[in-house]
């Protein structure tokens, strides 16, 4: 069989090279490469027996656990497309993602499937559900228990020949507030976001070359980020494809004490966190406690900023630590590591295919402002959304295709790139992306709200917090508790406003758009 960059092929290559090598740890669950591969094969066989075909979409709705990784590889085994779903979503958000993605099957934790039951009748394409036992005792009508499904499935047999063109989809937010499915070819995501088979050096030249990583010294990565998101997911895959043991942090809430004890127990060499929201508690715990972190060589971060202040604190506690803080986005992949700069400035040494362009797709001069852009290994576009695709992915006159998701930036004389802000005004709170328009729509649906503008304000722990400026209807009054209670049924908890300013009238621009600069000044 000709091998491709489909992740299932890459897992099989690593398994053939080192079947007994430790691959995955998640709570009490431990998998060698052979065990992970066999269970993924059983997932794939079960999905195929249930009628899932190549190119169809399989949603995964779960917290960090070994079965999450098995399910993703299992879908790839049969050339289906896994669709990671945010476990924090409420029913309305779940309905959008599952319907927009055309998911025909769903593998989910039983307690989370309870939200699916509310919207089951609105998902006509969803025809098969597999339930993951999470100790909740919740049962979803018609769901097949995950372990029973694997027990009944054969691990062997012929799987279809896979392709570099097989799809890899990640859902992220959009400027309209609705999550968008970023669609990649497997070959492009492998080189654009999964390390290319050699995280710190030149990428491999063929899938078969990945087997050489089985000869590398054993290492371990503790991944504390949610694997439903790109940062955590990409680190898990990079670890596995480099031959490392990937340890998933499985508690529902992050606890720095538990994470540092896991570092010691699993002899982790890299600790993956989500920006300051995890790194700051880690620094506090290290300063207050006595932990064996002698194995730790690096702290990786993604999904949210890791500020210079927190880096300085950690380096004071761990003088020899290396920071692996990369810029990345669902639409661009991993673009390059951060470098020390002025406080408050995000500066990165980007890969050669990343630059800053003006509106005519020309590279800007050093110091000029433009938009961050990447060429080469970039996504196909947004699944099911040609309009949004056309506004993010462009082809220049010379034929170069660019992904331009909306970050304003400048090029520096030394080749680094300084990020200035997200054009879409996205709010990053603890690694979760919040789009103001979605929150504004929910607020304005309250009967006592006349108008609203939502912005992100600096927050010491979470990076940013959601804040709202609201004008009530004449004669009405509103409170923060009342508005968050109203929004709770339609927005995930991290999207709810944490700060409120009530005004007589919300100021808007001359063309009627939200005046975010004014809103920030009012909140300040």
Same domain, 73 and 185: yes
Are both 15 and 123 inside the same structural domain?
yes
Indicate the range of 92-96, 342-346, 447-451 predicted with least confidence.
342-346
Q: How many angstroms separate the Cα of 297 from the Cα of each of 75, 269, 276, 300? A: 34, 5, 19, 10
Do 446 and 410 sit in the same domain of this protein? no
Inside any domain, residue 171: yes
Q: Which CATH number belongs to the domain containing residue 414 in this structure?
A: 2.30.38.10
> What CATH number corresponds to the domain at position 436?
3.30.300.30
Encode pLDDT of 1-30 as tens digits.
Answer: 789 999 999 999 999 999 999 999 999 999
> Can you spell out the DSSP letters for 136-159?
S----TTPEEHHHHHHHS-S-SPP
3-state SS of 399-417? Answer: CCEEECCCEEEEECCCCCE
Q: Is the pLDDT of residue 54 over 60?
A: yes
CA-CA-CA-CA torsion for 270, 328, 84, 422, nearest 10 degrees? 130
Residues 47 and 187 in one domain: yes
Last residue of a domain, one of 218, 251, 277: 218
In a domain, 303, yes or no: no
Task: Give me the domain span that covers residue 354.
Answer: 342-422
Q: Are 62 and 144 in contact (CB under 8 A)?
A: no
The pLDDT assigned to 175 comes to: 42
Query: Residue 183 — φ and ψ, nearest 5°?
Result: -105, 120
pTM of the model: 0.86
Tell me, yes or no, whether 64 and 174 share the same domain: yes
**In the chain, how many domains are there?**
3
| Confidence band, pLDDT 50/70/90 cuts, at residue 46 | very high
| Tokens 């007994």, residue located | 20
Residues 89 and 106 reside in one and the same domain: yes
Note whether 353 and 415 are same-domain residues. Answer: yes
3-state helix, strand, coil in the chain (%, to 5): 30, 25, 40
Same domain, 203 and 170: yes
- Does residue 383 form part of some domain? yes
| Host H or E run for residue 47 | helix 33-49
Q: Mark which of 218, 249, 278 sits at the end of a domain.
A: 218
Do 86 and 21 share a structural domain? yes
8 A C-beta contact, residue 286 and residue 259: no
Are residues 443 and 414 both part of a single domain?
Answer: no
Radius of gyration of the chain (CA): 23
* Domain-located, residue 261: no
Question: pLDDT digits over 310-361, tens only?
Answer: 888 999 999 999 998 888 889 999 988 888 655 334 778 888 899 999 989 9
Query: Which carries the bigger pLDDT value, residue 278 or residue 343?
Result: 278
Single residue among 366, 391, 422 that ends a domain in this structure: 422
pLDDT, tens digit, 9 for 90 and up, residues 127-175: 999 999 999 999 899 999 999 999 999 988 789 999 999 999 999 864 4
Bridge-based pairing state of the strands 432-434 and 449-459 = unpaired
Domain presence at residue 255: no
Tell me if 258 is assigned to some domain.
Answer: no
Q: Tens of pLDDT along 200-243?
A: 889 999 999 999 999 999 999 999 999 999 999 999 999 999 99
The percentage of the chain sitting over the pLDDT mark of 90, rounded to a whole number, equals 74
Same domain, 441 and 407: no
Note the pLDDT of residue 345.
46
Cα torsion 22, 166, 113, 51 to 10°: value is: -110
> Has residue 320 been placed in a domain?
no
Distances (CA, A) of 179 to 20, 23, 89: 39, 32, 11
CATH number at residue 70: 3.40.50.980
The answer to whether the beta carbons of residues 182 and 331 sit under 8 Å apart is yes
Same domain, yes or no, for 46 and 95? yes
**120: in domain:** yes
């Amino acid at each position: 069989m000709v091998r491709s960059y489909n992740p299932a092929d890459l897992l099989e290559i690593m398994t053939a090279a080192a079947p007994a090598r430790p691959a995955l740890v998640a709570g009490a669950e431990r998998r060698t490469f052979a065990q992970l591969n066999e269970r993924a094969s059983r997932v794939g066989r079960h999905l195929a027996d249930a009628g899932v075909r190549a190119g169809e979409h399989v949603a995964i709705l779960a917290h960090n656990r070994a079965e999450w990784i098995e399910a993703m590889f299992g879908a790839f085994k049969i050339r289906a497309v896994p669709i990671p779903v945010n476990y924090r979503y409420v029913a309305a958000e779940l309905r959008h993602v599952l319907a927009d993605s055309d998911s025909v099957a769903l593998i989910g934790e039983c307690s989370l499937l309870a939200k699916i039951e509310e919207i089951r009748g609105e998902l006509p394409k969803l025809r098969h559900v597999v339930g993951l036992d999470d100790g909740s005792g919740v049962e979803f009508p018609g769901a097949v228990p995950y372990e029973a499904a694997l027990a009944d499935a054969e691990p062997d047999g012929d799987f279809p020949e896979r392709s570099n063109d097989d799809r890899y989809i990640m859902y992220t937010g959009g400027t309209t507030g609705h999550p968008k499915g970023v669609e990649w070819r497997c070959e492009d995501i492998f080189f654009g976001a999964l390390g290319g088979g050699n995280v710190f050096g030149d990428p491999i030249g063929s899938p078969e070359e990945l087997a050489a990583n089985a000869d590398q010294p054993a290492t371990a990565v503790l991944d504390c980020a949610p694997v439903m998101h790109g940062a955590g997911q990409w680190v898990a895959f990079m670890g596995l494809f480099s031959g490392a043991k990937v340890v998933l942090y499985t508690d529902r809430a992050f606890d720095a004490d538990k994470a540092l004890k896991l570092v010691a127990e699993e002899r982790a060499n890299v600790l993956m966190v989500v920006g300051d929201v995890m790194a700051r508690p880690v620094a506090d715990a290290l300063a207050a406690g006595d932990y064996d972190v002698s194995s730790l060589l690096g702290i990786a971060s993604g999904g949210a900023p890791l500020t210079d202040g927190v880096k300085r604190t950690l380096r004071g506690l761990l003088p020899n630590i290396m920071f692996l803080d990369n810029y990345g986005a669902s639409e661009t992949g991993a673009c390059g590591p951060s470098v020390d700069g002025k406080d408050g400035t995000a500066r990165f040494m980007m890969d050669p295919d990343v630059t800053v362009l003006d509106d005519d797709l020309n590279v800007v001069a050093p110091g000029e402002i433009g938009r961050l852009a990447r060429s080469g290994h970039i996504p196909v576009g947004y699944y099911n959304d040609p309009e949004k695709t056309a506004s993010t992915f462009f082809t220049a006159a010379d034929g170069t295709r660019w992904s331009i998701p909306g970050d304003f930036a400048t090029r520096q004389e030394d080749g680094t790139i300084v990020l200035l802000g997200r054009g879409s005004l996205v709010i990053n709170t603890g690694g979760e992306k919040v789009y103001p328009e979605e929150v504004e729509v929910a607020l304005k649906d309250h009967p006592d709200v006349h108008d609203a503008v939502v912005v992100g304000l600096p927050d010491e722990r979470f990076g940013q917090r959601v804040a709202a400026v609201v004008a009530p209807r004449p004669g009405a009054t509103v409170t923060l508790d009342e508005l968050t209670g109203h929004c709770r049924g339609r927005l995930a908890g991290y999207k709810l406003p944490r700060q409120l300013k009530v005004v007589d009238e919300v100021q808007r621009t001359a063309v009627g758009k939200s005046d975010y600069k004014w809103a920030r000044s009012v909140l300040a």
